A and B are shown apart, each in its own frame.
Chain A
Amino acid sequence: MFNEAVIKEIDEIRVKYPDRKSALLPALYIAQREFGWLSNEAMSCVSETLNLPEAFVRGTASFYSMFRHKEVGRHLIQLCTNVSCMILGAERLIDFLNTKYGIQKNGTSEDGRFSLVEMECIGACGTAPAMLVDTDFYEDLTEENIVGILEQYK
């Protein structure tokens, strides 16, 4: 079960909606923050707190790509490879991260430091290629500057 502070946080969100189902996405985000990913336990906690069937919680959670269904590294690199980023070199960056840090596309480095997820457009096409590291935006990426950026994440 979630601790009391988390339950209170979810209760505060619930009042913004006319029914309890509608607090599901926010509650899943909170569960993901608490557990690092949406483990069975995390989803059970959501189901219990919102009093929704587990199957419903799982069904919704599985639809959205930002909910994680396996454990990820300490830092999540979300690199866009959609067209605007692709034509300005995003794929080279994916290869580079593979060689430099040993992270495969949609995989995690051996030391558990980074996970790499290939993203669809993240709304930074004018400063492509772009990525999110955890919740921070980085734009105009090159093989040179990406190393310096990632060094800030231990």
Chain B
Amino acid sequence: MTSYAIEVKNLRKEFEIKKRNGFFKRNKKKEVFIAVDDISFQVKKGEIFGFLGPNGAGKTTTIKMISTLLRPTSGTAIINGINCVERPMEVLKILGTVLTGERSIYWKLTGRENLEYFAAMNGITGRKAQVKIDYLLTRFNLDKRADETVEKYSTGMKQRVALAKALIADPEILILDEPTSGLDPQSALNLRELILEIKEEGRTILLTTHYMEEADQLSDRIAIIDHGKIIAMDTPCNLKKGLNKTNIIVLELKDWNSSTEERIKGIPMVENITSRFDDIAQRWEVKIHMVNGNDSINDLITNIISTNNKIINFRVEEPTLEDVFISLTGKSLRE
């Protein structure tokens, strides 16, 4: 019996792109977009495995292939020793999946009716279904509004119904695609606590997210994915440790432009620079990765002051997964 819940080997997905010229003409030359590019990874039983990457990196395509919704161009995905392409029905019996977005449940049905429907579609009916539904409604704090139609629920409640739906058949493995996307901070926090509780029950969880804090907080191991390729895979702690020679310097500046950026890039030891404008504070936040940065901080400050720029704040931060991503790709997760 395999010790891995999920084994993905050389998985690849290509999509044909149809481009149009004007109203009717279609380019005859076929272009291929590689959404997932020959990725391999294993998820151990009982762990939370995070798939971290920006939008369009290939996270959802990967989990759709694992959950049998999409046929891979090549490679294999094995769930508890069962091939997803060859025996999809058996795979679906041990998988619970929550896809991104709040429309994966019926808004015109009540929370209870949704669970009744998906219980029956998983072969659970009668008294057994009722007991399970009552338990899940109570556990996910939906019991008081279980008989109202879902359209009246908040986004957080809809997401909890979707999670309850995925757990209705008591699956060994749970796949969650951007589970906290679109939730307010409190609802996101509550859902993350629920996910950790579900893990404590011994279930394996494959989670995709583009929120680094979420990946950091929940995952035992993380694969960072960009442009369809896995570019790093380890525990969050080890990924961050890999940057221990890099200092993360954050400057808050009045102005920021490309010529200043070029000037800073010229300082030895500067590895990556990312910047964003804070609309509320009306200032630029510039994050600079420097190898052995303590030796070059003077150079950095001198260069910025020489451009007549005003430094509003200055701090040195501990590396985060965002910094790991920047270090690997030279860009921010938000870009």
* A interacts with B: no
Chain B residues with a Cβ under 8 A of chain A: none
Contact residues of A with B, CB < 8 Å?
A: none
